[in-house]
């Protein structure tokens, strides 16, 4: 194996508190109800715009007469998040040790996220500087996961084929991304989706902790 690529939220880092703060900032500006931790877990996975749209549908913010109003609301979210990308985010226990083990084996490491690229770069740069050879969030011209385009671009940049790589994620979106890419995929249940939630989507979780994930990757590599 030459490369291991990761989803960001719920896989490498617990970013839930910062996502929640950004979404609730936008909701409060329009007198909407605030979203809970469980709400945010349900919303995330397919990009921040879709997450906010689901939050707005459930939390009844006022004055969203048309798409232009929603776009302004989304701009509030992005502006807040850009100023507070990782106030509370932190690696899951065992993640940094696992990344160190992979780097010691000269494995290329990458991150592919559906979150806005500017925010992804800020988070990774703060929490894991210099570790990943490829980092990308949502970028113009690339569809969101589960489309595998960004993942395939990253693997090409790392000089790896799908047969020489592993993809790690925490959701049904990641499982489908891996399937479409034709890459060996490991799904974890310590992040934003529980083992029961994954099972309800027909997905078998392979790792309940980053320490178990480390063992699995070592066995594959």
The answer to whether residue 7 is catalytic is yes
Closest CA to 50 of 203, 42, 68: 42
| Alpha carbon distance 205, 14 (integer Å) | 18
Name the phi and psi angles at 98, rounded to 5.
-60, -45
CA distances (Å), origin 11, targets 33, 56, 75, 116? 28, 26, 26, 17
| Alpha carbon distance 210, 77 (integer Å) | 30
Among residues 7, 18, 39, 174, which one is catalytic?
A: 7
Q: How far apart are the first and last CA of the chain?
A: 5
| Alpha carbon distance 52, 43 (integer Å) | 8
Q: What number of residues does the chain have?
A: 221
The residues annotated with a catalytic role in the active site are 7
């Amino acid at each position: 194996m030459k490369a291991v690529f990761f989803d960001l939220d719920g896989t490498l880092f617990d970013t839930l508190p910062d996502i929640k703060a950004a979404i609730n900032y936008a909701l409060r500006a329009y007198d909407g109800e605030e979203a809970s931790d469980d709400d945010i877990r349900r919303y995330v996975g397919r990009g921040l715009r879709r997450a906010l749209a689901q939050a707005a549908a459930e939390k009844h913010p006022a004055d969203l007469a048309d798409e232009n109003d929603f776009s302004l609301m989304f701009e509030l979210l992005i502006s807040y998040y850009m100023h507070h990308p990782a106030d509370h985010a932190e690696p899951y226990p065992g993640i940094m040790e696992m990344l160190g083990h992979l780097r010691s084996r000269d494995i290329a490491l990458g991150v592919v996220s559906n979150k806005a690229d500017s925010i992804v770069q800020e988070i990774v740069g703060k929490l894991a500087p210099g570790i990943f050879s490829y980092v990308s969030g949502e970028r113009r011209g690339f569809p969101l996961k589960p489309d595998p385009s960004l993942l395939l671009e990253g693997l090409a940049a790392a000089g790896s084929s799908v047969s020489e790589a592993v993809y790690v994620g925490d959701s049904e979106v990641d499982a489908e991304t891996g399937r479409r890419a034709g890459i060996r995929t490991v799904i974890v249940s310590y992040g934003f989706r529980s083992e029961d939630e994954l099972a309800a989507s027909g997905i078998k979780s392979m790792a309940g902790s980053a320490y178990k994930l480390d063992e699995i990757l070592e066995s594959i590599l």
